[in-house]
Structure 1
């Protein structure tokens, strides 16, 4: 298993934080790991050169891992498709008069696999976000056969979104590698401790019945600066 795809039940669920924390934990276990971003939208353009910058999520991954940007980041191997418009990839690419070719994404993943034991490939938005007019994110994952890590939370509605995502994964015949609970929404509007605790219990029971080989993990609570002083402990057989 050299590629794990990290997705979430929705946008702003904490995929980037999860990806960076998993990478950091794997590094601490002596695993040679790198992260990749499927496609990044909402990337700032340099006012002088006019060039699109490095993917924001890749920068965050490296900060969480405690390492500088790598050569494969600087030459954009870890995220070849970056767009200025913060929107669904199919729209952002169209507005940039660009054509997103998933073969390019696959080829750079293989390049990274040659140098690293594990590649953590973070998606954009949820599983059914369109990459192009013809291809959903989940279609691409199914083509590649990547095991999936799904990030969820205790926000009101998360049970529904999580089960829908798990059903979609199952319909493509893909493996649910892990479900990661992110505490990011524990204190959000319309969510309280009872809702969050009930969500955790329900999803754990659901996984045990329908996806018994999947890992259940909880991310350390993020500090105000977006980081955590608590190590993220992975199960011994995670990879």
Structure 2
């Protein structure tokens, strides 16, 4: 990033309403446990902040509920939040088809705009002391032809937590994602190791390598779960996250 881009990011950080803590959760791929970790982060933060709320800016794929179509991810975040906000704030873009967001949006006739999502985040921040924003898919997943999840994270200008799905290939995926996060001028605030392959070989060796090379604190390890529940996940929050 050049100096002008860093200056613009710093300017955005001054303009966006600042809760006491906020982070952006991304993953090495889709299906690696971002919602599980995001909800666990909300539960951990709720022990230190009275008003915690999760945000799923873009969700692709819905389930039927008595209140109408909803995102499973958004519902999981709402269950772990201590503040209830309108869906327009915590899940502003809800797309029916379980596809890459840019394709699901095209099918639905929806235009996803990073500035619009940023505005919803700013409004959400007025209701919370701590906010956890969950991305969609991996860090470079497209939201439209001209923007990605990385662009959204950069616009929000908040630290990033990386969920690493432990399976063959995770070292490459994790290190490339960490590199992409830092290339956007964003701090990698921590990472979580989630074993999604029950038969993965050399799990301990892989985790040890990432601990040496990711350059960020390991917030927690999740063993293989047949029925993932955020209440069963314990994460260690760095002390600096808790400063008021």
TM-score per shorter chain, which class?
Answer: 0.7 to 0.9
User: CA-atom RMSD, angstroms?
Assistant: 2.3
Spell out, residue by residue over 1:58-90, the C-alpha distance to the aligned partner (whole angstroms, 9 max, x if none). 111234x286xx6414x4320110111111111
Mapped partners of 1:184, 1:160: distance in 2 = 16
For 1:56-205, list aligned pairs within 5 A. Answer: 56-63=72-79, 65=80, 71-73=84-86, 75-185=87-197, 187-188=198-199, 191-192=200-201, 194=202, 196-205=203-212
TM-superposed CA distance for 1:220, in Å, is 4.2
Spell out, residue by residue over 1:181-236, the C-alpha distance to the aligned partner (whole angstroms, 9 max, x if none). 11333x14xx12x2x111110000113xxx3xx32122444654321545433232
Quick check: 2:157–2:186 contact (8 Å CA) kept in 1? yes
Mapped partners of 1:23, 1:105: distance in 2 = 20
Mapped partners of 1:231, 1:153: distance in 2 = 17
What is the aligned partner in structure 1 of residue 3 from structure 2? Answer: none
* TM-score between both structures, scaled by the size of structure 1: 0.84
TM-superposed CA distance for 1:9, in Å, is 0.4
Quick check: 2:42–2:81 contact (8 Å CA) kept in 1? no
Residues 124, 31 of structure 1: alpha-carbon distance in 2 compared, 3 angstrom cutoff: same
Q: Which runs of 4+ in 1 moved over 6 A?
A: none
Mapped partners of 2:154, 2:171: distance in 1 = 23
Residues 237, 181 of structure 1: alpha-carbon distance in 2 compared, 3 angstrom cutoff: same
Mapped partners of 1:77, 1:5: distance in 2 = 16
Quick check: 1:180–1:216 contact (8 Å CA) kept in 2? yes
Match of 1:25 among 40, 44, 52: 44
Which structure is higher in strand share? 2
Spell out, residue by residue over 1:112-154, the C-alpha distance to the aligned partner (whole angstroms, 9 max, x if none). 1111011111000001100111111112222332211110032
Quick check: 1:2–1:113 contact (8 Å CA) kept in 2? no
Counterpart check, 1:234 vs 2:240? no
Quick check: 1:45–1:84 contact (8 Å CA) kept in 2? no
Unaligned runs of 5+ in 2: 1-19
TM-superposed CA distance for 1:175, in Å, is 0.8
Counterpart check, 1:206 vs 2:213? yes
Residues 184, 218 of structure 1: alpha-carbon distance in 2 compared, 3 angstrom cutoff: farther
